[in-house]
Amino acid sequence: MKSPESPYFSPPNLPAIDHPLSMKGRFGRLSFIAWSTFLHFIFLFGSIALGLSIDIVNIATLSVDPNWLISIQGLASIGVMIMILAYLYFALVVTIRRLHDMDRSGWWALLLLIPLVNIFVWLYIVFGPGDRGVNQYGPARLTLFWEKVLAWLMIILTLLSLLGSLALFGYMSGGEQPQTPAEMMQKTTKYF
């Protein structure tokens, strides 16, 4: 007979409203990968749109006063800075939520600023197991269906790109040992 207060037989108590872009709460691995991918694509498409709009304005204003053109370019650079700051903030939020899932403080994200250490911290964030059940940062968050689909698409695309890079490297090397510059000079100078 199950008891109503037993954590083994009841689903975790989720907060009534889970705001994915707030620093409170947790993200599992797939949620972290999905939201990171989503943010990258938003930033990429936003950068492309801003760059195209700047180019359209530049082409349309070739015969306009140069001071006006400089002011438009200044506004565009402010737009770029706002996009970069928003991207960094939301990337930090997603990383902190992933660290919360592993019962770590969000201050661990500062380790991502240290060269070489950031590689190991990033690998830990991506591959480290999260806590099951409730930890000091709240209950485990359920991964939504679209997060699972987007995360697995990103994982598959990453693996395919690695395999493609290795295949291209193997093709470009041609199975031969790389030649030294002296050997290359000897073989090519007979034609000149």
Backbone angles phi, psi at 135, to 5 degrees: -125, -170
Q: Quick: pLDDT tens for 155-171.
A: 999 999 999 998 888 77
pTM of the model: 0.72
Cβ atoms of 133 and 140 within 8 Å: the answer is yes
Q: Is the pLDDT of residue 149 over 60?
A: yes
Which residue from 95, 100, 104 is spatially nearest to 138, judged by alpha carbons?
Answer: 100
Angle ∠(55,59,63) on CA atoms, nearest 5? 140
Q: Give dist(CA 146, CA 140) in Å, integer.
A: 18
Q: Is the pLDDT of residue 119 over 50?
A: yes
Q: Is the pLDDT of residue 99 over 90?
A: yes
Q: Quick: pLDDT tens for 62-72.
A: 655 666 666 76
Under the banding of pLDDT at 50, 70 and 90, the label for residue 140 is: confident
pLDDT at 17 (0 to 100) = 67
Q: Give dist(CA 22, CA 97) in Å, integer.
A: 8
Provide mean pLDDT across the span 102-106: 92
Under the banding of pLDDT at 50, 70 and 90, the label for residue 177 is: low
Return all residues near 107 (Cβ < 8 A) that are at least 6 apart: none
H-state helical runs in the chain: 29-60, 66-101, 117-127, 145-173, 181-189
Q: Give dist(CA 106, CA 50) in Å, integer.
A: 32
Q: Is the pLDDT of residue 2 over 50?
A: no
